[in-house]
Amino acid sequence: MTVPEYTLFHRVAEPASARIRLRVVELGLKTRIDFQNAETDGKDELTRIGGSTTPALWDGHTLTVGEPAVAEKLTTLGPEPVERDEGMSEGTTRAVLAAFAGNLAIAITKAIAAYMTGSGALIAETAHSIADSVNQILLYVGIRRSVQPPTAKHPLGHGKERYFWALIVALFLFFGGGLFSIYEAYERFTQPHELGAVWIGFAVLALSVVFESFSLSVAVREVRHAAHEQGVTVRRFLQQLRDPALRTVLYEDSAALAGLAAAILGLGLAVLTGDQRFDAAASAVIGVILIYVAYQLAWGARGLIVGEAPPEEVLDALRAAIATEPGVDKVIDLRAVQMGTNQLLVLARVSVRDTIPAGAAEHLLVRLRKRLQREHPEVMDSYVEINPS
């Protein structure tokens, strides 16, 4: 694409001089008056085109005036934003939709079986499946909202939307699944109910195991695929997993299979012994499992919402990329914050030689930013501060 010739009127003493200058160099704009003193050689031309306030950007047709407007204009002149983590988002979406379809089918069959048998464990499992189905919708909302491009109100993007909705999922699972199951267990302990048509209950629980196993297999397949793409083991991938949607699907499906095992065992013991308290105990176990999963999900979301650093090896790789750039003496400070799934914000302070010209320092910053994004696609943005040696 041919870049038109722009005229930038800017007093060198204005506060945003360095930031705007860096943006112009980064975009490779052709400017005829670049960082000149508008009070001298640029003043007459600025007046001629109908302006007097700096900074101002003239594209041959319109004059953009004021620091916010010029900065926004420069942003629109940049390259098209790159979609990050597209493959991971598609894989996560598949896992979430598969979990939603499975949980919805399971919730319907469990509700029918709970009504026909009067089993407290099946009622708890019904609440669990309904909570899981609603949670998949919330996770899908988080995925869709997190990929929206940056705006003036959210200049760093919407990556943390996933973490917020993951926290809502944890709260819903805690109250809608865990506490309800504990309450149902209490009701069954204090007011036992006779069980009826238990064979329907066993059939539905067995069918649920099949549905949940399918949903979990989709999530596990996505995890293995993502781990293979990153060249790490599945165990290592899970340890550094920053995708709350995929983490939630894995936790919920695993908890669902554990809950089903508890329900089958409790219902079976209730039938064999005639003691309905086993059925109530199964409901309590299901509630405890859901509360534990909700706690794990909420704690994970908390760390990411507050602002969590990437794994140490990622920081080491970023530090090495900056330190080996020609012109950099050493890395004084380096910080990186997780801004979304596979999205990092990098902040660094480096020292350079005292003799390096100002123009060379600006080009060094541009090279550093481009190198970080080239070698580490997860770096959505970086800010590097230069200190003299």
H/E element holding 9?
strand 5-9
Query: What average pLDDT is seen over the chain?
Result: 77
**Spatial separation of the C-alpha atoms in residues 250 and 258, rounded to whole Å:** 12
Top-confidence residue, 87 or 265: 265
Residue burial 160-191, b: 16+ Cβ < 10 Å; e: rest: bbbbbbbbbbbebbbebbbbbbbebbeebbee
The answer to whether residues 307 and 338 touch, using CB atoms and an 8 Å cutoff, is yes
**Spatial separation of the C-alpha atoms in residues 283 and 264, rounded to whole Å:** 11
**Spatial separation of the C-alpha atoms in residues 333 and 330, rounded to whole Å:** 9
Residue 24 has a pLDDT of 60
CA distances (Å), origin 267, targets 15, 188, 190, 204: 72, 13, 17, 12
Mode of pairing for the β-strands spanning 343-352 and 379-388? parallel
Share of the chain above pLDDT 70, in %: 80
Residue 291 has a pLDDT of 92
Q: What is the pLDDT of residues 233-276, one digit of tens each?
A: 888 877 777 777 778 878 888 888 998 899 899 888 988 888 88
Closest listed residue to residue 17, CA positions, set 6, 29, 25: 25
Domains of the chain: 5-76 (3.40.30.10), 86-306 (1.20.1510.10), 312-388 (3.30.70.1350)
Q: What is the pLDDT of residues 3-36, one digit of tens each?
A: 456 677 766 555 555 556 556 655 555 444 444 4
Residue 132 has a pLDDT of 80
Q: Name the β-bridge partners of 5.
A: 30
Residue 89 has a pLDDT of 54
Lookup result for tokens 């950099």:
328
Report the range of poorest mean pLDDT among 63-77, 217-231, 307-321.
63-77
153 phi/psi in degrees, rounded to 5: -80, -30
Is-cis flag, bond preceding 149, omega within 30? Answer: no
Closest listed residue to residue 385, CA positions, set 318, 328, 314, 308: 328
Residue burial 303-329, b: 16+ Cβ < 10 Å; e: rest: ebbeeeebeeebbeebeebbeebebbe
Mode of pairing for the β-strands spanning 328-340 and 5-9? unpaired
Closest listed residue to residue 212, CA positions, set 168, 162, 264: 264
If you ran DSSP here, which 8-state letter would residue 134 be given?
H
Report the range of poorest mean pLDDT among 84-88, 115-119, 135-139, 354-358.
84-88
